[in-house]
Amino acid sequence: MAKQLQYDELAYYYDTHPTEEDLMGETAVHAALIRYLMEVLSWLFDQQGCALHENLNFYHTPYWKELPVAPDIAVVKGVDFEWVRSWRVGQTGPGPHVVLEIASQETWSKDLAEKPSKYAKMGVEEYFAYDPNERPLLRGGRRLFGWRLDRVSRSMHPLPLEPDGRLWSRHLESYLVPDRAYLRLYDRAGQLRLTRAEAEAEARRAETRRADAEAEARRAETRRAEAEKQRANAEADARRAEMKRAEAEKQRADALAEKLRSLGIDPDQI
C-alpha cells in the first residue's frame, strides 16, 4: 500500500523544483482528455484497489536528483490511492501497470521515442500514447500508439493496431479506440466505458424506461380488461336480445294458437 512521504525519507530535488515539462503550458484539448480519462478510469476501478495519479513524479532510483517521469495518467492496480508527494518504484509501491500520455507539440517526439524505454526501466507493463489534436502531429494521421513490457528483455514492444485502429489493454480490460479529441474505452462486448456521472445518468434513464414500460404494461392491462369487459357486456346484451326475441316468438306463437282455437281449430293438429 502506498504511504505518505515521511520526514526521514529521501527528498527528491524535483519534488520541489520544476522540470522542463512542468514549465510547459497545457492545451484545452489536452486537459479535457486527461480529465475525461481520469473520470472513466476512476469509475472503472471504483470497486477495486487502484491508485490513479495525474502528472505525479515517478522515480526508480535513490539518486536525490534523478529526473522523474510524470505521466499524464498512471494506473497502479492493487494499491489504494493516497496523497503522496511523489512515487518511488519499489518503495512507495510497484511501478504503474498502465501509463497514458497525451500528445502535445513539445513532448510528442519524446513520448514516442524516449519514454517507452524509460517506462520499461520502471517496470511499466503497458504504455499508450494518444494524439487528440484536430490535426494529428504525425504525418499519416496516426493518433494511437501502444507498447507492452517484455518481462524477459525488460524492454517495451510496440503493439500493432488492429484493422479498425484500436488497441487492447490487458490491465484495463478495455479496447482503446481513437475518437478525434477523445480516446474511448470499450469492453469486449463493445460497451463504452462510462464515467460515474454517465453511468448514473444511464441508470436513471434505464429506471425511467423501466418505469415507463411498467406504466405502459399497466395501461395495456387496463385496456385489455376494458376490452374484456366490453366483450362480456356485448355477449350479455346478445343473450338478452336473444331471450327477448325468443320471448317475442313465443308470444306470437301463443297468440296465433289462441286465435286458431277461437276459430275451432286445434293448433296441435296443424
- Amino acid residing at 72: D
Q: Max CA-CA distance within the chain?
A: 139
Q: Is the pLDDT score of 8 beyond 50? A: no
Instruction: Average the pLDDT over each of 9-13, 79-83, 100-104, 202-206 and give the range with the smallest value.
Output: 9-13
* Average pLDDT estimate for 187-196: 96
Run of H or E including 217: helix 196-262
Share of the chain above pLDDT 90, in %: 78
Per DSSP, which regions of 55-108 are E strands?
Answer: 58-59, 73-77, 87-88, 98-102
Q: pLDDT band at 139, cuts 50/70/90?
A: confident
The C-alpha cell at 56 is 505525479
Sheet holding 73-77, edge to edge: 50-53, 73-77, 98-102, 126-130, 144-150, 155-158
- Amino acid residing at 117: S
CA 246 – CA 203 distance, rounded (Å): 63
pTM: 0.79
Q: pLDDT band at 9, cuts 50/70/90?
A: low
CA 211 – CA 216 distance, rounded (Å): 8
* Average pLDDT estimate for 52-63: 95
Instruction: Average the pLDDT over each of 75-79, 87-91, 257-261 and give the range with the smallest value.
Output: 257-261
Q: Are the C-beta atoms of residues 50 and 61 closer than 8 Å to each other? A: no
- Cα–Cα nearest to 167, from 191, 133, 143, 193: 143
CA 185 – CA 41 distance, rounded (Å): 9
* Average pLDDT estimate for 206-228: 95
Query: What is the rounded radius of gyration, in angstroms, for the C-alpha atoms of the chain?
Result: 39
Q: Is the pLDDT score of 3 beyond 70? A: no
Q: Is the pLDDT score of 137 beyond 80? A: yes
* Residue 5 CB coordination number (10 Å): 17
